[in-house]
Amino acid sequence: MKKYLFRNKYGIIPIKKIIHMLDKWGFRDTPVDKDGLYGGLVLPLPQAHFLYRLSHISLISGTYGMYRGYYDLAMVPIGIYFTSINYWKYPKATSIRRYVDISYVILSFTYQHTRTMYAENMIPYWGFILMAFLCYPLGRYFKNENAWIGTFFHSGCHIFSNIANIIIYSGEIP
């Protein structure tokens, strides 16, 4: 049975075709080990370094939060920046750095959600947060098919959540 990534108006695009395109563009995949890891890492180093560089976008939304005067909320993306770059420089599967990163994301999201409960831009904020949340399980699922596809979906977590932060910081927060 073929696995498919998505449908378009011309039919269904098989994952194998997308993997072939990525390979042609230089995004070579590394085969996964029997334990589902890449030599003890959750992703191969090229994909991990891609996410390491992408983690720097948290500084944009953090700086914008500071500019708008939401100093406590700005600590959310700035803290995520530090935990993300610390983890993605060498993403070992059984590392305390991984659990610190995940824990900080969960705790800071909980704080930010509680603090911005009645914010002016809450509806569009939640639209982008939901897109970020959807990217995580899709990244985990497709990582086993191709590490680059999984990485691109995980990138959506970073991109959409930082867009959401900018949206929420742009309005009035009581």
Q: What is the pTM of this model?
A: 0.85
The answer to whether 83 and 101 are in contact (CB under 8 A) is: yes
| Across 106-134, average pLDDT | 96
Question: What's the pLDDT at 90?
Answer: 96
Question: Whole-angstrom Cα distance, residue 46 to residue 43?
Answer: 8
Per-residue pLDDT tens digits for 124-142: 999 999 999 999 999 988 8
DSSP state of 3: -
Structural domain that includes position 105? 4-170
**Residue-averaged pLDDT of the chain:** 89
- Tell me how many domains the chain contains: 1
pLDDT at 5: 54
